Structure 1
Amino acid sequence: MVITDNALIVLDGATAHDPAMPSAGEYVDCLASELARSIGDASPLAEILKRSISRTTESLGIVPGLAPSSTVALVRVESDTVDALILGDTSVIVGQRGGDIATYTDDRLSQLDLPEADLYRRFLALGWGYTGRHGKILEELQVAERARRNRPRGYWIAEADPSAAEHAVHVQFARDELSWIVVATDGAFDLMPALGLGWHEVARMSTPQLGELLDRIHTWEAEIDPEGKALPRAKRHDDKTIAIVRFR
């Protein structure tokens, strides 16, 4: 997560279940730096993301199809408007001054209905846990996903193809209509129903309270559902980020 004078940048690098894929850590750090350097420009967010992916690709010497990847969520606050861009399954939850709440995410990957994704969830729901067989299914799933990455009728993600930015989800709001925005990676977003919390409650939390919330999520994963039976998920513990923008 990166915070600038008028913007919020949240990235969530993909775990490399396939041993042929490199770790996303260096990619995320480089892309975050490029975005932070450019997000204050007057350019549309999609153009800023496109340039940032291009510079990251050049800097790291990576090529499409064999590169690490990351979700992207950008929120930029201007004097009269607020823009949000989403690429991948990080969610942007928007609270209006009138009390309405809307959630925006990019669910194209989950809409592919890949058989490997159904298989690993059924494997966990049956109580078989995070075994070597589970890891092998995830490896096969990642190979199948990579074949559909950044192409029509597939899904789009920040990787080594700058044109993916052109397919990002973009929403814009009048600033005076907003009360708050929460940005949450899937590791936090997916667990919120299990904790019985609403986003209006999360939006009022202080920084220490958010830290406690992330600890609660981690504890739920470790103690209540350590084998992923109640909530089948790729990993027992996923990275978790929650960030809040409040408007006066």
Structure 2
Amino acid sequence: MRRSFLVVAVLGANVVAAMQVGKVPTALPAIGDDLGLSLVQANWVLSLTNLIAVGTAFAVPALSTLVGARWPALLATACLALGSLAGSACWNAKTLFLSWVLEGAGLLLMMISGPTFLAQVLDLRRLRILFGLWPACMPVGIAVMLAATPTLVEVTGWRPMWVGAGLAAAAAGAVLAVASRGLPAPHVESGIPDATRMLREPARRLAVRPLRWCAAISLCYSAEFLGVLGCCPPCWASGPARVRGRSRR
């Protein structure tokens, strides 16, 4: 029973982490009107998570190796909560970028430490099923927020929505902490991992032809996905139009 509670807590935390990504695209027009963001600056906000992943993803597995997966997972929810709450109080583009850097770090920590967390408590047969469910958490969380954000922004404004998302991340972290309390600590390696080996191993794997093609396809998909979400929503074009209409009146 407790193991099932822990699995649900980890999957739920991943869904909440994905919601932090889904809240951004359809809220960009309101954020742009409020903070005076250009389309370029708004898309920087949307792309920061991917840039953080490119620069630091290799270090997160090393962190899990040193301290186990529980603390990185809890740190992930803390970063998501603090970043979203800080974002609700930002007053210009720079402070919004900084808050989103914190949220991006939390999302990266959760995406990488979550499967490691599950691997520590599940046998191989159940782990295969959960690894099939894990990637589904991201589109579920994003889809929920993409559907809910237009109504929430219209009713409450984007800042209260950011507060709500931060509180949801804090609640997910509290549930995860309770579910994993008293869990036997896994054996972790001592010492600092070799940074050269951490960089060389992904490069060696990408040299294999199937993985190289998969990486290229994923790169193209990510570029298209972010371009559509950041540049093409009809609601983005209505934001500047409303501003021009108010200035003429």
TM-score by length of 2: 0.33
TM-score by length of 1: 0.33
Return the structure number with greater helix share. Answer: 2
